[in-house]
Amino acid sequence: MSHIVVIRPYHPGDEMSCHELIRSGILSSMNSTFIGNVLKEVTFQIMILLAAIMFIFFGMPITICLLVVPIVLLSTYVITYVAFMAKAAEVDQEVSNIARIYMSNAFSCFWVAEAYEPIFTTRSPSEFYYNIITEKQFKESKIDVSAQSKRIVGSIGLQKSHSLDKGAWIKRLCVHKNFQRKGIASHLLKAAIDFAIEQGYSCANIVASEYTEGGRELCLKKGFELKMMYHQQIVGTLLTTLMYELTYQIKPGDSNYAVLQKKRYSVR
């Protein structure tokens, strides 16, 4: 068993790896968000309006008026970039305080997926099959990993909600691009849901954007339901991103139901 991934709680010393992983995860959807904003009707309307103003009111040649196209495209990219940098900076602050936010009480937790691999390999992780196990299973198996390297390739957190009655938020679900489609995200979600059930939460919610379709489909496949949709503003109402709030409903106060929920969510 030379390639394994261990799902375990956050440990002191994981901070730097989590910073790099989560930041890369956030920025990975920047280009798709930019393209999505460019293709929106309002972007074309702005181009036409600016070109018409330049041509009609200022009498500029049509060739000059067409320069609004690259200007609007560049402006859209800059705005999208700045918005993502601001989001990344905000999340950096959160990641710097994982121990305080997620690990300082019994009702929140943060997990990482840690991959063990041979030290010397020239092949991409995407070419290998990884056996995904919990930290308890890892310790009980007594697998010798002394000759292997390890790195954090996934993360997820669950935090008590201050607005939802007996509800929790699942946050920072992220898997390194080279380790995607291996079941890691599914196991991370399972860890968070099992924890929510054990702590007696009534529901666990997660938010995904229209540009993270893979993550949204995974949540729906694993028993989450669409709760609401809303537009998150980037620049007023001109540039927005459609957000999906998904919920995993848990019936509180019924241990038998909790067992059924765990079975319903079992990783296939």
Residues 29-42 have pLDDT tens digits of 999 989 998 998 88
Regarding beta strands 148-160 and 109-118, do their DSSP bridges make them parallel or antiparallel, or are they unpaired? antiparallel
In a domain, 84, yes or no: no
What per-residue confidence (pLDDT) applies to 166? 87
Give the distance from CA 180 to its chain's centroid. 12
Token pair recorded at residue 232: 């998150």
How buried is 218 (Cβ within 10 angstroms: 0-12 exposed, 13-18 middle, 19+ buried)? middle
Query: Which pLDDT belongs to residue 97?
Result: 94
Coil, strand or helix at 63: helix
Is residue 242 domain-resident? Answer: yes
Q: What pLDDT sits at residue 142?
A: 84
What local confidence, expressed as pLDDT, does residue 1 receive? 54
User: Would residue 182 count as lying in a domain?
Assistant: yes
pLDDT tens profile 83-104: 999 999 999 999 999 999 999 9
User: What is the dihedral sign for C-alpha 185, 188, 192, 193?
Assistant: positive
Q: What are all long-range contacts of 68-72, with beta carbons under 8 Å and residues at least 24 apart?
A: 72/43, 72/46, 72/47
CATH number, position 227: 3.40.630.30
The answer as to whether 51 is a domain residue is no
**Is residue 185 in a domain?**
yes
Contact 95, 19 (CB under 8 A): yes
**Which residues form the domain of 159?**
4-31+91-265
| pLDDT under 70: residue ranges of the chain | 1-2, 122, 235-238, 251-268
Residue 44 counted as domain residue: no
Instruction: Report how many domains make up the chain.
Output: 1
Looking at the domain assignment, is residue 67 inside a domain? Answer: no
Q: What's the CA gap between 25 and 42, in Å, rounded? A: 28
pLDDT at 3: 86
Position 266 scores a pLDDT of 54
24 domain-assigned: yes
